[in-house]
Amino acid sequence: MTRKPLSYYQSIPEETLRNRIDSIRRRMGARLRILVHYYQKEEILAIADDVGDSYGLSAAASKSGCEVILFCGVRFMAETADILANAKREGNRRVTVVSPNPDAGCRMADMATLAELENAWRLLGEAVGTEGLVPVTYVNSSAEVKAFCGKHGGYACTSSNALAVMRRVFANPDSRVFFLPDQQLGRNVAAWMGFPPEQVFSYHGGNSVVKTNVQQLVRDGFLPAGSVEELTPAAELDRDAVGAAKVILWDGFCPLHQRFTVEQIDRARRARPDVKVVVHPECPREVVARSDEAGSTKKILDLVAAAEDASVWAIGTERRMVEALQRDFPTKTILPLSDEMPMCHSMNTITLASVCRALEGIESGYPDGVVTVEREIAQPALLALERMLQCKG
C-alpha cells in the first residue's frame, strides 16, 4: 500500500497532526501503546503512554499486553521492545513494534558490530583464555551483540542497573567482565566497584566508527590531538595487562556525553558555589569523579524532583532532558552544564509528522517502520535482557 511521504505530513499544521494522533489513539484504545524516551521533544512526550529511560521502557515493553507498540526512541530500543514484548507470545500473535523512524540509530551502538566482537573474543581467548570472562553489553547495542552476550552466559545492562549487574557477576570472585560498547559507563562502574586502573584494560579493535567519532571530537577540541593514534590496535594483546584485568573495556562511547569536561564543572562551581553537579555515567571518568552525583536519566530526574525548592543544579546530559527538567521544576534552578547543550540528533528526528504518519499506517493495517528481530537472534538476546531485568538498580 502506498502511503503519502513524510514531506506531506510535514506540511500539515501541528494542531491538525495532534488531532489526527488523538483520534487514532481513541479509536485504538488499549490495543496501542506509545513508548517515549526522555530525550524526545516536549510534543512527543505529551502523547506518551509510558515515558522512561532504557530500563523503564524495557520493563514497560515486557509487560505491555497490547497489539502494537509505537516506539519513540532509537533503533536499539525498538529492537529491545520487540524482543521483550514477544518473549512469551505463542504462534502468530505477535506484538508489532513500529518506529516513526527506523533509521534513527545510536552512534554508540554502531561502534560495536557482531563481527568485531567475535574477533575480539577470539583474540582475548588466544591471549589469556575466556574462562570466567563474562560479556556485559550496555543495552545501547544491536540485538546481535546482545545475542552474543546471551549465548556466552552474559548480560545486558542499562545505566540504571549496570552496577547491580557487575555486582551479580563479581559475586563469583573468579569472574572477569568484557564490557561493551560504552567504555565510559564500564570505566565508571569499575571504579565504583573499587577496581584500580591497573585492573581495567582498554581494548582497541581499530573500529572505523569509533575512529570517525574520535576524529570529530578532536576537530571540535573536546579530545587532545593524538587520540586517534591511541586507538591503533597493538599487533598482539599485552598478555600481562589483559591477564591482570578484572574489567576489559570496548572502546565505544556516546559522542554527545563525551563532550562534557571537568572545566565545565569548575566553571559552574565558580559561577554558583551552591550548585550541585549531576552527570550521566556515559560521561568520561574524570567528569563523573568531579561531579556531586552521577546516574541514569531516571536517577537524575529523581534527584532533582526530591531536591528543595530554590536548589541549583547543573545537569550534564542530553539537551531535551535538561529542558524537560527546567519545564517540570520551575521552582528550582536547572542549568545546563555545557552552554553547547549537546543534543542526540537521532532522537530528534522523531516529530509529530513522523508519529502521525506511523500511526495512520498502523491503523490502516499496513504499517511502515516495523522493527522485527529474527527469532534466532531474539532468543539468545532475550537471555541477556532477562538477566538484565532481574538486576534492580
Binding site for ligand SF4 (CB under 6 A): 74, 106-108, 140, 254, 256, 318, 344, 346-347
Nearer to ligand SF4, 105 or 233 (CB): 105
Q: By the 8 A CB rule, do 369 and 71 touch? A: no
The C-alpha cell 586507538 sits at 231
Query: C-beta of 4: minimal distance to ligand SF4 in Å?
Result: 28
From the CB of 228, what's the least distance to ligand SF4, in Å?
A: 19
Closest to ligand SF4 by CB, 168 vs 257, is 257
Rank residues 185 and 383 by Cβ distance to ligand SF4 and give the closer one. Answer: 185
The helices-and-strands tally (H runs, E runs) of the chain is 17, 13
CA–CA distances in Å: residue 287 to residues 3, 184, 227, 257, 360: 47, 10, 18, 10, 44
The least CB distance from residue 342 to ligand SF4, in Å, is 8
Whole-angstrom Cα distance, residue 362 to residue 356?
10
CB of 318 to ligand SF4, least distance (A): 5
Closer residue to ligand SF4 (CB): 82 or 318 = 318
Nearer to ligand SF4, 344 or 377 (CB): 344
Residue 272 C-beta: closest distance to ligand SF4, Å: 26
